[in-house]
Structure formats: structure tokens, C-alpha cells
Chains A and B, each alone.
Chain A
Amino acid sequence: AQSVAQPEDQVKVAEGNPLTVKCTYSVSGNPYLFWYVQYPNRGLQFLLKYITGDNLVKGSYGFEAEFNKSQTSFHLKKPSALVSDSALYFCAVRGALFGTDKLIFGTGTRLQVFP
């Protein structure tokens, strides 16, 4: 069965420090991976995606993610965190063999960046 795991419910980091939000997946075939962010009282907002090609994907607001096939991971990173990055982050996966456009979302990781 296809699944996504976000092992940390919450990540806390000081402003200016690098941040990492972890995501691992399990799918049949090649995965299509996404990161979304949700600010309070808002819908989910697309950050970046990996479909194929370069394992390092760059997205909005200075975020990037690294696809690691051997570790089945797609961790979200940012070199220098901002207080405004504080939000709920979701990893999602769609398998190439799904045959549908359905995304499987993780449970979310709450990022808190403190001044």
C-alpha cells in the first residue's frame, strides 16, 4: 500500500538556523512527491514537487527538498529559517502506478521558528 510518513509532529528551530522537515514514503514504482504548507486558517499551498530529474528540488520561499531513492525520503530543507515560516507542513506522494491523480498526504509537521 502507498503511504507517507512524517515522523515528527513538531519541529522547533531558531530564526536564522537551517531547518529540516522529514518525510519518508512507500509506493510501487517511481514516486511523485510534493510538499505543501498550511498557514493558520488557510488552505494548503503548494511549495515544490519532485517528478523526475535532479534529486534536489527548489521551490517557493527559499525551500528545497532532496529526493533520496535508496532511503525513500524527501526531506524539506531551508538554509536559514524565518519566523514567518512557522506553519504546518505536509508531504504528499503519488505513485506512477497509481493510475489516478490521488495524492496520499502525511499527517503534517508543525514548524515553529522562534526569534
Chain B
Amino acid sequence: DAGVIQSPRHEVTEMGQEVTLRCKPISGHDYLFWYRQTMMRGLELLIYFNNNVPIDDSGMPEDRFSAKMPNASFSTLKIQPSEPRDSAVYFCASSLSGSSYNEQFFGPGTRLTVL
């Protein structure tokens, strides 16, 4: 299995531009999570989906952020318009539900720099 795939790995953009981050979860996993990691705030859960349905988006910082999961194999996190304070590493993770409370598998992350 290829693991969780994220693209792009690095993104540099200017303030005000739209940014779209992409994630392909592990095949068969029914949970998908988006996290943001910064030095100041550590690892933050932004939103997560179960069977393509958003379950908890309480971590999404503001309306500039939106996430979609149109099918079981693809999700996007969009920032519009982007701001310098959005600079961070964004991780996608997936897991398989069940009574064993399986662990989350993380992608390699997208390093976003907003100038």
C-alpha cells in the first residue's frame, strides 16, 4: 500500500491567493483527518470526515478554510484567501473504524508558505 498521499509537498504562494491541498487516504479507510502543525500551536485537528461526511469541523480556524471529500479516495483543503499566518505544515491522516480503535496513518504533509 502506498500510504496516505498528499500533494503538493511544498506550496509557496502570495497573500490573497487561493490554495488547494489534496489528500488520498489509504484504500478502505473510512475516516479522514486534516491537521495543521506550527511551532507556536503544535498539532491542531482542523476537520475530520467519516464515510465522506464531515463530522467535526470545530477546528477550522475561520471561513477562509473549507474542506471537501467528494469520494472515498480524495479530499481537499482549500484556503481562500490565504494569509501569512496560514503558513504551516498541513497533514492528512486516515484510519479504519472498528472496535479496535485503529491508529491513524499520516501522510508526509504539505508545507505551505504564504508570503
Residues in chain A within 8 A of chain B (CB atoms): 32, 34, 36, 41-46, 49, 51, 90, 94, 100-103, 105, 107-108
Q: A44-B91, A51-B100 are in contact. List 17 more A-B contacts (CB 8 A).
A: A32-B101, A34-B103, A43-B91, A43-B106, A43-B108, A46-B103, A46-B105, A100-B55, A101-B31, A101-B48, A101-B95, A101-B101, A102-B48, A103-B45, A105-B45, A107-B42, A108-B42
CB distance from A87 to the nearest CB of B (A): 14
Assess whether A90 is in contact with B43, with CB atoms less than 8 Å apart: yes
Task: Tell me the B50-75 residues at the A interface (CB within 8 Å).
Answer: 50, 55-56
Decide yes or no whether B25 CB sits under 8 A from chain A. Answer: no
In this complex, which of B43, B50, B104 has the most chain A Cβ atoms within 10 angstroms of its Cβ?
B43
Assess whether A43 is in contact with B107, with CB atoms less than 8 Å apart: yes
Complexed CA–CA distance, A90 and B45 (Å): 14
A46 in complex: contacting residue of B4, B31, B104, B109, CB < 8 Å? B104
In this complex, which of A32, A42, A101, A103 has the most chain B Cβ atoms within 10 angstroms of its Cβ?
A101
Given contacts A43-B107, A101-B31, are A94 and B101 in contact (CB under 8 A)? yes
CB distance from A67 to the nearest CB of B (A): 14
Complexed CA–CA distance, A101 and B42 (Å): 20
**Number of A-B contacts defined by CB within 8 Å:** 48
Assess whether B101 is in contact with A51, with CB atoms less than 8 Å apart: yes
Residues in chain B within 8 A of chain A (CB atoms): 4, 31, 42-43, 45, 48, 50, 55-56, 91, 93, 95, 97, 100-101, 103-109
User: Can you list 8 A-B pairs with a CB-CB distance of less than 8 A?
Assistant: A36-B106, A41-B108, A44-B106, A46-B105, A49-B101, A100-B56, A101-B95, A107-B42
Assess whether A108 is in contact with B4, with CB atoms less than 8 Å apart: no
The 9 lowest CB-CB distance pairs between A and B, nearest first, are A43-B106, A46-B103, A44-B106, A107-B42, A105-B43, A32-B101, A43-B108, A43-B107, A43-B109
